[in-house]
Amino acid sequence: MNTFTVEYLPNDLRMKAASLSEIRTTLNHLPPEVLSELCIRLIKYKKENKEFLSYLLYEADDETGYVDGIKKEMDILFKEVNRRNLTLSKKTLQKILRQINRYAKYSGSKRTDADLHIYFCLKLRESGLPLDKNAMLQNIYMRQLTRIRKALATLHEDLQYDYEEVMEKLMR
């Protein structure tokens, strides 16, 4: 039985994706019921698509509630962190960060991104894990601080000032 993967097909035989503008034009000309069916088919294939559409439909109007829900979820996940085995701790922290990054991507807001990562850093400091004594944990923490600084740099000056005190606390 021969199986072919996409890598081995010549370029002219691969399915080419339409450009964003072509897709937008086509979607604008479709009737609502067809558009609805396409959305349903799209969300069947990937959990991430379903989560993103759920965010857009039900949570995009209440960003504060969305962030609070994610923080509650983080609280639960931080209780699962194994404090005896640092390798397992690292894996759990990376899992939490993957979720944070995915949720922040749905929002598209730098403020939400900064809020979630600040909360992660605060929870990490409260966790009792030896950040100062373990290089891999310290690297995770420092990468998050860098990400927070980048997100805050894009915000309005007044918001940056509001976050300044929190950042000083995280830097100690």
Q: 159 and 83, same structural domain?
A: yes
1 domain residue, yes or no: no
Q: Which amino acid is at 32?
A: P
Residue 76 has pLDDT above 90, yes or no: yes
Residues 168, 85, single domain; the answer is: yes
pLDDT higher than threshold 90 for residue 69? yes
Mean pLDDT of the chain: 87
pLDDT in tens, 42-68: 889 899 999 999 999 999 999 999 999
**Is residue 4 one of the residues assigned to a domain?**
no
Tokens of 37: 């069916």
Same domain, 53 and 76: no
89 and 50 part of one domain: no
φ/ψ region of 102 (left if φ > 0, alpha if ψ in -120 to 50, else beta) reads alpha
The answer for residues whose C-beta is within 8 angstroms of residue 12's C-beta and 6 or more apart is: none
Q: Which domain holds residue 81?
A: 62-172
- pLDDT at residue 7 tops 70: no
Say yes or no: 86 and 159 in one domain.
yes
* 5 vs 113, more confident: 113
State yes or no: pLDDT of 9 exceeds 60: no
Is 40 a residue whose pLDDT tops 80? yes
Model confidence pLDDT, tens digit, residues 134-170: 889 899 999 999 999 999 899 888 888 888 888 888 8
**Are the beta carbons of 103 and 116 closer than 8 angstroms?**
yes
Decide which of 2 and 93 is more confident: 93
| The two three-digit tokens of residue 145, written as one number | 């601080």
